[in-house]
A and B are shown apart, each in its own frame.
Chain A
Amino acid sequence: KNEVEQSPQNLTAQEGEFITINCSYSVGISALHWLQQHPGGGIVSLFMLSSGKKKHGRLIATINIQEKHSSLHITASHPRDSAVYICAPRASGSRLTFGEGTQLTVNP
């Protein structure tokens, strides 16, 4: 069993839809990153959170440390949101463990 499980693996949505990507992990963590990787390969750190909820524009990330679960939500999705979203818990120090990623495609 992978230490980090993301679902779904692939997600296709229509522009404007509300999107949720889930992440479950099996180890104790100090924080969790949500990353965005565009087709060109570059990675952007969207959030780092260790409790509760964070919001940035149309993106919302939540985490439940007790349940070892985090979610990334995108409101009013747009084709430019199409990318791979990666959940990356941090167990200790700075070391990250990466999920397999969720490929999101938003159609106009």
Chain B
Amino acid sequence: GAVVSQHPSWVICKSGTSVKIECRSLDFQATTMFWYRQFPKQSLMLMATSNEGSKATYEQGVEKDKFLINHASLTLSTLTVTSAHPEDSSFYICSASGAGGSNEQFFGPGTRLTVL
């Protein structure tokens, strides 16, 4: 149980385009979802926290107009990177908590974004 999926697993796009990444909790209702970014050889960096039905809370330094997060249901959150630039190339990972009423986070497999 407690499986989280992400789609797509990798994406290559041109500079200036927008990219949407989906995060789904497959077998539980995720009251909270988290979006992380990881650059090579670095640790995960929390970008934002989202609760179902409410606006996401962004970490300091993360542009909310650039990284749009929607958590419209208890099993789906989306991250849209708008007007992507090469410096946005990174590994994006989501996690979800709420399985069995627990705060334990379960992580998705990640999405590798490359912006040309």
Do A and B share a complex?
Answer: yes
**Interfacial residues, chain A to chain B (CB-CB below 8 A):** 30-31, 33, 35, 40-45, 48, 86, 90, 93-96, 98-101
A94 touches B103 (CB 8 A): yes
Contacts of A42 in B (CB 8 A): 107-110
A41→B93 CA distance, assembly (Å) = 9
Given contacts A43-B93, A48-B104, A100-B43, whether A94 and B110 have CB atoms under 8 Å apart is no
B43 and A94 contacting across the interface, CB-CB below 8 Å:
no
Distance between Cα atoms of A35 and B106 in the complex (Å)? 10
Q: Are B110 and A41 neighbours in the complex by a CB distance under 8 Å?
A: yes
Q: How many angstroms between the C-alpha atoms of A35 and B38 in the bound complex? A: 14
Chain B residues whose C-beta falls within 8 Å of the C-beta of A40 in the assembled complex: 109
Q: Nearest-CB distance from A82 to chain B (Å)?
A: 16
**What does DSSP make chain B's interface, helix, strand, loop or mixed?**
strand
Cβ B103 vs Cβ A31 within 8 A: yes
Residues of A close to B32: CB separation below 8 A:
94
B43 close to A101 (CB less than 8 A): yes
A41 and B43: CB pair below 8 A?
no
Interface pair A43/B107, CB less than 8 Å apart = yes
| Given A43-B109, A86-B44, A95-B49; 15 other pairs, CB 8 A cutoff | A30-B103, A35-B107, A40-B109, A41-B110, A41-B112, A43-B93, A43-B95, A45-B105, A45-B107, A90-B103, A94-B34, A94-B49, A94-B97, A98-B43, A100-B43
- 25 A-B Cβ contacts within 8 A? A30-B103, A31-B103, A33-B104, A33-B105, A35-B107, A40-B109, A41-B93, A41-B109, A41-B110, A42-B107, A42-B108, A43-B44, A43-B93, A43-B95, A43-B107, A43-B109, A43-B110, A86-B43, A86-B44, A93-B103, A94-B32, A94-B34, A95-B49, A99-B43, A100-B43
